Amino acid sequence: MIEYKGVENNQQVIPTDSTNEKKQVEVEEEQGGKSNEGVEVVEKEVITTPRITPRTWWFRVSYFTSTYSRVILLIVAGVTIPFIIEFLKMIPTSDDELVYLRGTHLLTHWLTHSLTYSLTYSLTLISLTGSNSLEALQTLKSDFPMGQMDPYSVILTTDISYGVLTSDYFTYETGLISEILSEEQPKYIDTSSISALSYYNGAYVDYDTSMAYFNTSSPVYNDSIAVAYRIEVGSSLNSDSSASLIRIETIINPNSQKAEGFVVDMRKILDKYESKTAYGSTYNQVKLYLFGAYTTTLDVQDALYATVPTLIGCTIAIVMALIFFSFGSIMIAVRLAITVFISLSWTYGLMVYVYQPGPSQG
């Protein structure tokens, strides 16, 4: 704005225009063509009122969170803690039920709320329609022992031809089976779960009886029990009878998470027995191995989970280093790590709650 001073009876302020030349012309015209000599020109700052647009909802939220940032951080931390606790409950699972069925079951549980469980179960059954494999699985579960789906095998090897067809071996195997029954029954197995050279049809078989079943000149060779014994137990021997199998059919789902305890217990028993000498100085030590069902899955899970801390630590270190060198501030890197940690905690906490078998699945 330009103000003219020193003109008698005509001191005024000219409104702001685009250029100083236009202002000068207007002054001369208003003064009737008089010269503006001696006029002091003073430039003043023009204070204009900006056009204020209505504040958006996003702006208000941002302003509120910035003003009360400490309170908001405490609330976010408090909400995150339950998700972290739920995430820490995560267990590796290898159940035979499909994951999407658990998700469907939980979704129907949420949708029905106080409705009866029968409605939830009915909605879950609808999702099974047309799945032949799941129908076959349910039939297998209802009509046959759980362990028949995938039995476990204890491998005993002597590295000596016909090493398992001796009375000493039968004594050793009988002791091992007795230990297994005493430790794992009735939680994981029952008396009919084991089939081996020295144990068949829920009863122990001594060395002489077993040899009679295999001897063609024995009077009991053609008995029904002898025929059944040879068919089932005979297939557990290798070609030179240096190794044998103990088949174990669990009463629980052999491929479910519940079988982890059985696998761990069995490996402890086998480790203890492997340290014993089976036949004194005559034979080498018997080697024992557990195979089948959940054993491989458990080993893979243990190997993967053992690398998780290292992978997480390396990832965090690399990301924070990149952020630090990019922005030159360690605080930005720390804030980013906290932000990512909170979002991932919510994500994985919800995943555990939804997909992991437990109370949330009804």
Using one digit for the tens of pLDDT, what is the confidence trace for 348-359?
Answer: 888 877 776 655
Q: What's the DSSP call for residue 39?
A: P
pLDDT score recorded for residue 115? 39
Average pLDDT over residues 15-36: 50
Domain ranges of the chain: 2-43, 151-292
Residues 6+ apart with CB under 8 A from 188: 250, 251, 252, 259, 261, 262, 265
Task: Evaluate if residue 37 carries a pLDDT over 90.
Answer: no
Residue, of 109 and 314, whose pLDDT is higher: 314
Task: Evaluate if residue 245 carries a pLDDT over 90.
Answer: yes
- Contact status, residue 265 vs residue 252, Cβ threshold 8 Å: no
Mean pLDDT, the chain, integer? 74
pLDDT score recorded for residue 97? 45
Place of tokens 């909802």: 57
pTM for the predicted model, two decimal places: 0.61
| Dihedral sign computed on CA atoms, order 302, 305, 306, 307 | positive
Average pLDDT over residues 164-176: 89
Q: How is the beta sheet containing 152-157 ordered, strand by strand?
A: 194-195, 243-248, 152-157, 287-291
| Dihedral sign computed on CA atoms, order 295, 287, 202, 181 | negative
Using one digit for the tens of pLDDT, what is the confidence trace for 317-350?
Answer: 888 888 888 888 888 888 888 888 888 888 888 8
| Dihedral sign computed on CA atoms, order 253, 256, 258, 260 | positive
pLDDT score recorded for residue 255? 82
| Tokens linked to 193 | 């779960």
